[in-house]
Structure 1
């Protein structure tokens, strides 16, 4: 696990609320960071580990970024740092393209298979499994 490396351990010591504040201050209004914003955050915030290189940060970002939008939402970052229980992601909040990607990672634009996307969504809604991992 990339985040188990010693240079990223400092992140786990930062309280969740403070981390969220830092994250939102650097990101856009919906709390999403691009690679440049993430890199800036990690190198300029005193609470984050000062010895991180740009290469380390690029690697971490690519590891955590959303496969469809290529950005990093707050809850993805949160789960990576504090574990999956920290920020469950309600299914209805996920963008449809991301849902399609989860349903059929090989071809996100064209959903194929025996279970259509609508029925897949309905199944998650009705079984109470309304959460997907952000990773």
Structure 2
């Protein structure tokens, strides 16, 4: 999928916002890619974010997907806006080990509501597995 070029000022704003997220720092997450209407975040599943069986904890998966979807929304908003999550639904499809990649995208942009989605993939021992699908609504807020 080819997306529209992203205004460098918007990309800088998104990356600066991501850098302020203490939860993403706690996870050692990286904002790997930002384009118009999309964002990709990755993080390794280490002992701090595992559930009792050694797989990625659902809260960790959810947080990465929420942030990827939110930053995808932010790429389409004016410089004076930030976003907040209004509601999200997630389906956990499989357990994950290794490294997670959350790929967020905008389904429907808007001035009052932005409908978003994110898919989370686990990469482990050369295999890539779809482990979660999220859909929700972000609300633009003035900073």
Asked if Structure 1 and Structure 2 have the same fold, meaning a TM-score greater than 0.5 normalized by the shorter chain, the answer is no
TM-score by length of 2: 0.25
Greater RCO, CA 8 A, separation 6+: 2
Q: Higher strand share goes to which structure?
A: 2
Q: Higher helix share goes to which structure?
A: 1
